[in-house]
Amino acid sequence: MNSLRIARAALRVRSAAVRTTQQCRGYAEAVPDKIKLSLSLPHQPHPPQPIYKSQDVVQVNMTAHSGVMGVLANHVPAIEQLAPGVVEVIEESGGSKQFFLSGGFAVIQPKSVMSINAVEGFPVEDFSPENVKAQIDEATKVANGSGSEQDIAEAKIELEVLESLQAALK
Amino acid sequence: MTFAWKAAGITYNRYLAVAARVVRRSLKDDKRLAAERRGESDLRFAKWSNGKQGDVKNLADANAAAAVASAATGGQ
């Protein structure tokens, strides 16, 4: 009689346990913790290869016009206009790669899909600090000179890019 | 947010082209030569009116002239 009561109590406990597990999230529907990143440039949409093509990465840090931001998986959908600056990609292996992009857009879509499009972009180590320095001198001269308004405005754009590039190379 | 280049009558397209050009020029010399070739373009056009072809002009020169005119009026 007594053992029967214990068994029935155990049954009740188990059915309660079954109810709670049904409300939990199972492994199969676990949310992804990686971003599928595509980073492509107009002049290399096909082979040799876009820099990234739906590759799983951990984090993307970028210089947007609204500020420097880091993007992880499950970010809210957003469109960001990129300022000339460095995009840092932290890959699955834990290593990170830095690219300097001239300007473009980053689109963050639902379910951790992200695409970045830029006009020009190269790994930071491909740049020559001497060439940057020489161009800063030249652009500064034009920006402070007495050229047309168009020339001065373009020299100021160049200076903005070059100063960002110089900071990235340090 | 207003940008200084916008106030000077430069379009976003032109801004991107200038920024891309300066990035290409900053590369190490071997990559720079390959990349700078992408920035070159040579296109000519002519305006036709009343069945007659007008002067043949270089598109880049005409664009630059239009940009200067646009900058002078502040993009209006």
Residue A134 CA to residue B26 CA, distance in Å, equals: 9
Domain holding B14, by residue range, is 4-72
Contact A120 B5 (CB under 8 A): no
Cβ-count burial A22-33 (b if 16+ within 10 Å, e if not): eeeeeeeeeeee
Q: Which among B1, B18, B27 is the nearest to A158, CB-wise?
A: B18
Bridge partners of A67? A64
ipTM value of the model?
0.73
DSSP B26-60: TB-HHHHHHHHHHH----EEEEEETTEEEEEEEHH
Task: Look up the CATH architecture of domain A31-125.
Answer: Sandwich (2.60)
Residue A104 distance to chain B (closest CA, Å) = 8
Task: List the domain boundaries for chain A.
Answer: 31-125, 127-169
- The pLDDT tens digits for A74-120 are 889 999 999 999 999 998 888 888 999 998 999 999 888 999 999 88
Residue A50 distance to chain B (closest CA, Å) = 16
Q: What's the total number of domains in chain B?
A: 1
